[in-house]
């Protein structure tokens, strides 16, 4: 069975109709990994032995006719999501040997279904980066063109799906880290509404922005996986009790009359022409299906980058202060307590993580707090208000996911400012806590995938998935 | 290229529990200067934070009931610890001289 482009829905049918066993499926994944992983570098840890055992357990459940959507389905999980007894490194030297004593909420949810964990995927260190090049362990390569980056920070998860190693994976999205790698690798990724999925067991980066979501080969798979992982969890006080019975409930409904906003600032000079053309062609396709395109504005977009980086880094500086080498993590050396902490952090963190900690503490420090952090929070309010105004007249917003297609490995390594500004189209969604889906909408003349994003109202993933599905099924 | 002062870098490095060699500090000061110049664009935006608004509309759940739960097993918690041969203790350098 060719796993490339295989959807979870297809594999579910194949398993239930006994065309393939869970073990065979699992072995297919490892066959593909053994063949190509050296070129891609999608994984930090492979869980081969446990996977076979879990596949056999899942098969029993399938044979009993009690399978859930993910029973026996091989999946990968980003390495910042805790898995009981399996290393969770955050792609950092700091957590190189860290074995969590518990499962993240999402890992528990997947286990309830008897899924099969294939491995933990590579990422930017502590999810800080947009290219999966800041990992302590390795760089990940884009399966479409291995000279190019896969995007980030969930680049390992997106690359694993695009390479056909797994049919779907979990990622996390603080400023675009699910959507942008999905766009670069030509797969589909969903960042749910903030509060939709529990963050319990997700290693914290920006706590008011982080959200876990699926990366898969179809819009429908993203909705189905969200059905499994969403829901309130008492261990994350920001997880919401707003329920959804089925995120795909509108997936087969036509988009006739659906109002799609096109904010002009998202199609500005910073965005490559080939990207704009592909996304506008997709807009016309949806219009052909009966959707109504609505022009609109988001004047504060240009301040999205400083607002995002100030808030995210302030939260990161606070969250990462726990890494002192005492209870877990890299233990440095030193004659006394202070020297030991400094040595642990100096050796444990990479340059990008250090830059963000420094920026966060700068923004929070006395004399700068009002000028930077508080101002960023004010801008957050403004951006939320502008989104609310757009959603008074529209149901979803259509934008490019990234200003360009995937770029060459190494071409942006030395310029953090350039790297930050490339996030301009994805960070506003996190600032406002909205759900957004990235799906492929074509490729450039060199064959590199182009992604478009559909953003919805808070807790309205169903409409986002409806619009995405309508385009996917064109 | 903007660059932050060494004294300023030293101050935020201290707050961050990080330290840099002279060479590392030079490079970091330059990069931080560029990053802060980008952040400075926010200053031109004339807006004040409104304390009366819910900043990010987080629908906070009520706090969970305060019921006793089973703790994590000690051996699991200690599997990541530096124990210095004593499996029940974290080993630390002296905190007081």
pTM here? 0.97
Per-residue pLDDT, A21: 98
Is B16 an 8 Å CB contact of chain A? yes
What domains does chain B contain, in order, with CATH numbers? Answer: 6-44 (1.10.20)
pLDDT tens digits for range A20-64: 999 999 999 999 999 999 999 999 999 999 999 999 999 999 999
| Token duo for residue A61 | 């459940």
Residue B31 pLDDT = 95
- Parse chain A into domains and list their residue ranges: 1-474
Cα–Cα dist A203/A357, whole Å: 15
Total CB pairs under 8 A between chain A and B: 165
Q: Is the pLDDT of residue A178 over 90?
A: yes
Note if A253 is an active site residue: no
pLDDT surpassing 70 at residue A371: yes
CB atoms A195 and B48 under 8 Å: no
Residues 6+ apart with CB under 8 A from A411: none
Residue B61 is predicted with a pLDDT of 59
Q: What is the pLDDT of residue A80?
A: 98
Is it the case that residue B58 has pLDDT exceeding 80?
no
Contacts of B61 in chain A (CB under 8 A): 232, 234, 237-241
Shortest distance between the Cα of A237 and any Cα of chain B, in A, equals: 5
Residue range B75-93: average pLDDT? Answer: 85
Residues A222-272: pLDDT tens digits? 999 999 999 999 999 899 989 899 999 999 999 999 999 999 999 999 999
Average pLDDT over residues A208-230: 98
Mean pLDDT of chain A: 97
Residues of B whose CB is below 8 A from A341: 17
**What does the pLDDT look like over A65-87, one tens digit per residue?**
999 999 999 999 999 999 999 99
Return the residue matching tokens 């044979």: A63
Both tokens assigned to A268: 């500005």
Chain B residue whose CA is closest to A232: B61
CA distance A304 to chain B (A): 9
ipTM of the shown complex = 0.92
- Counting other chains too, the contacts that B67-76 makes at CB distance below 8 Å and 24 or more residues apart are B72/A101, B72/A102, B73/A101, B76/A101
Closest residue by Cα to residue A91 from A171, A189, A198, A208: A171
Is B17 at the interface with chain A, CB within 8 A?
yes
* Neighbouring-strand partners of residue A120: A45, A77
Pick the CATH number of A1-474 from 3.40.109.10, 3.90.1300.10, 2.40.50.140, 3.30.420.40: 3.90.1300.10
Q: Do B61 and A327 touch (CB under 8 A)?
A: no
Contact yes or no for B18 and A349 at CB 8 A:
yes
**Is B80 within 8 Å of A375 when comparing Cβ atoms?**
no
Annotation marks residue A177 as catalytic: yes
């Amino acid at each position: 069975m060719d796993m490339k482009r295989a959807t979870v829905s297809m594999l579910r049918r194949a398993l239930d109709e006994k065309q393939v066993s869970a073990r065979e499926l699992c072995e297919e994944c490892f066959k593909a990994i053994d063949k190509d992983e050296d070129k891609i570098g999608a994984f930090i840890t492979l869980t081969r032995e446990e996977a076979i055992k879990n596949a056999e357990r899942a098969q029993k459940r399938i044979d009993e006719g009690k399978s859930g959507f993910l029973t026996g389905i091989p999946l990968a999980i980003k390495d910042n999501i805790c898995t009981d007894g399996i290393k969770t490194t955050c792609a950092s030297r700091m957590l190189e040997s860290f074995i969590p004593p518990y499962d993240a909420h999402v890992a528990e949810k997947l286990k309830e279904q008897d899924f099969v964990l294939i491995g933990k995927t590579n990422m930017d260190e502590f999810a800080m980066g947009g290219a999966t090049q800041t990992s302590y362990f390795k760089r990940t390569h884009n399966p479409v063109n291995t000279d190019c980056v896969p995007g980030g920070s969930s680049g390992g998860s997106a690359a694993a799906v695009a390479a056909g190693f797994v049919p779907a994976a979990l990622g996390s999205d603080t400023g675009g880290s699910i959507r942008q790698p999905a766009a670069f690798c030509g797969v589909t990724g969903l960042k749910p509404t903030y509060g939709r999925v529990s963050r319990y067991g997700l290693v914290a980066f920006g706590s008011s922005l982080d959200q876990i979501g699926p990366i898969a080969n179809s819009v429908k798979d993203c909705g189905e996986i969200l059905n499994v992982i969403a829901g309130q969890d008492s261990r994350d006080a920001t997880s919401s009790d707003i329920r959804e019975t089925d995120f795909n409930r509108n997936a087969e409904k036509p988009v006739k009359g659906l109002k799609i906003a096109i904010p002009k600032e998202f199609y500005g000079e910073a965005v490559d022409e080939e990207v704009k053309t592909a996304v506008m062609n997709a807009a016309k396709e949806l219009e052909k299906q009966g959707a109504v395109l609505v022009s609109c504005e988001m004047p504060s977009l240009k301040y999205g980058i400083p607002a995002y980086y100030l808030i995210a880094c302030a939260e990161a500086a606070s969250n990462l202060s726990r890494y002192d080498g005492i209870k877990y993590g890299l233990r440095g050396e030193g004659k006394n307590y202070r020297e030991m902490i400094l040595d642990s952090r100096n050796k444990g963190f990479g340059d990008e993580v250090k830059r963000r900690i420094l920026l966060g503490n700068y923004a929070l420090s006395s004399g700068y707090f009002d000028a930077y952090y508080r101002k960023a929070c004010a801008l957050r309010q403004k951006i939320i208000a502008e989104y609310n105004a757009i959603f008074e007249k529209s149901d979803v917003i259509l934008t490019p996911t990234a200003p360009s297609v995937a770029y060459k490995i190494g071409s942006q390594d030395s310029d953090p400012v350039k790297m930050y500004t490339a996030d301009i189209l994805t960070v506003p969604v996190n600032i406002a806590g909205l759900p957004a889906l990235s799906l492929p909408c074509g490729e450039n003349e060199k064959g590199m995938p182009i992604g478009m994003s559909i953003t919805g109202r808070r807790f309205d993933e169903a409409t986002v998935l409806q619009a995405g599905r309508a385009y996917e099924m064109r | 290229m903007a660059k932050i002062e060494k004294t300023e870098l030293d101050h935020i490095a201290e707050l961050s529990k990080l330290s840099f060699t002279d060479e590392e500090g030079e490079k970091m000061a330059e990069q931080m200067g560029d990053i802060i110049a980008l952040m400075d664009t926010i200053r031109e935006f004339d807006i004040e934070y409104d304390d009366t608004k819910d900043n990010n509309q987080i629908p906070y759940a009520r706090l969970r009931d305060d019921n006793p739960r089973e703790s994590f097993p000690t051996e699991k918690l200690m599997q990541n610890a530096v124990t210095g041969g004593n499996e029940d203790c974290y080993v630390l350098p002296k905190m007081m001289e």
